[in-house]
Amino acid sequence: MAAPLRLIIGLGNPGPSYDRTRHNIGFEVIDALSERINEPFKQKGQSLFAKGAWRGRPVGLVKPQTFMNRSGTAVEDLVRKNGLSPQDIMVIVDDIHLATGVIRIRGEGGTGGHNGLEDIADWLDSNKFPRMRIGVGNNFGSGQQANYVLETFSDDERPLMDKAVEKARDACLAFVTDGLMTAMNRYNG
């Protein structure tokens, strides 16, 4: 029996003005995965999509083009069209509640107030999908969260984030080949 397709979905906002911002760390991980599996992106529905394989296992890489807070429609469309369950996907998001560069993988759970995760949970009618949160720190004043996540990383933060992107990429590949528990055991923290 063939291995099931795994979709790795990085959340972010489309357009060059958002490149390398805190909110787009999910897109950075997807770009790193695209380089690793050597597959380019094509427009598919509401997403940029690359499909390939890693160690004989099929994998789809997704960058929804619907803006972060409306990612659910793009994700639900790809899940439905590919006959997948929520457990076959991994959603990657930024997290202001984690220290810069820290990765946390969970198999299900709440959204932690992340609007992108909330929209996906609403469209899938489930919180039972794997997600990876990547810490982007929280060095912002009261009422400045929206501005903070739309800024690029500082020169001090960028090396930490480059390492986090590599680690996140490897964790996603472990999810594809070895499953969620292995990815969590190897890469959390």
- Show which residues are catalytic: 23
Give dist(CA 163, CA 101) in Å, integer: 7
Alpha-carbon distances, residue 79 vs 8, 116, 146 (angstroms): 11, 16, 29
Give dist(CA 32, CA 36) in Å, integer: 6
- Whether residue 36 contacts residue 173, with contact meaning beta carbons closer than 8 Å, is answered with yes
Give dist(CA 78, CA 8) in Å, integer: 11
